[in-house]
Amino acid sequence: MSTIEEAAEAHAEGIAAVFAPYVTGSVVTFETTPPTAAQWRAKIRESELPFLVLTEADVVLGYAFAAPWRPKPAYRFSVETTIYLAPEAAGQGHGRRLLDELLKRCGEAGARQAIAVVVDSGNPASRKLHHAAGFAEAGVLRRVGFKENRWLDTVLMQRELA
């Protein structure tokens, strides 16, 4: 049975393994070089907002975290959410459980708005997940990323937490 828990530095290798294929084999992230486990450990250590992992038998199947939306003080109650699942964990309700728990913990941490930036890449799963979790589309940023020899849009999705 899978569990959701706060990420620890020991999860860094698993998080790196989940994310790397998205970096190298898709356009769903604008990263072009997969972060190393050491970089993930630093991110976990430095995170002041919820950072969760979904594990089963000590294997990381997914992760979700929140980060400040923008650095200016007036944005302090808004967070950007990120969620990724290993391919073998998709389509089983894990993403919804993980995202719901992240949003709950963000609200408990004082966040009032959650924002997701979804690459409009023809992969509707992320948009569908966010819609199911109560996010609404707030706008489109056109041709803001260039990866795999094409220009990509991002869809901003927003959900009120309080």
Tens digit of each residue's pLDDT (9 = 90 or more) over 91-143: 999 999 999 999 999 999 999 999 999 998 767 899 999 999 999 999 999 99
20-27 mean pLDDT: 96
Predicted model pTM: 0.96
**Residue span of the structural domain in which 149 resides:** 3-160
How much of the chain, in percent, has pLDDT values that exceed 90?
A: 95
Q: Identify the CATH number of the domain in which residue 52 sits.
A: 3.40.630.30
Residue 138 and residue 39: Cα distance in Å, rounded?
31
Tens digit of each residue's pLDDT (9 = 90 or more) over 28-48: 999 999 999 999 999 999 999
* Domains identified in the chain, total number: 1
**In this predicted structure, what is the pLDDT of residue 121?**
74
Cα radius of gyration (the chain): 15
Cβ-based burial of 102 (10 A; exposed 0-12, middle 13-18, buried ≥19)? buried
How much of the chain, in percent, has pLDDT values that exceed 70?
A: 99
Rounded alpha-carbon distances, angstroms, from residue 155 to 28, 42, 146: 11, 28, 15
Contact 61, 86 (CB under 8 A): yes
Residue 66 and residue 79: Cα distance in Å, rounded?
6
Tens digit of each residue's pLDDT (9 = 90 or more) over 74-97: 999 999 999 999 999 999 999 999
Q: Which of 82, 72, 79, 144 is nearest to 115 (CA)?
A: 79
Residue type, 38: A
3-state class (DSSP) for residue 47: coil
Residue 4 and residue 124: Cα distance in Å, rounded?
24
**In this predicted structure, what is the pLDDT of residue 13?**
98
Residue for token pair 């950007």: 80
- pLDDT, averaged across the chain: 96
Residue 105 and residue 10: Cα distance in Å, rounded?
21
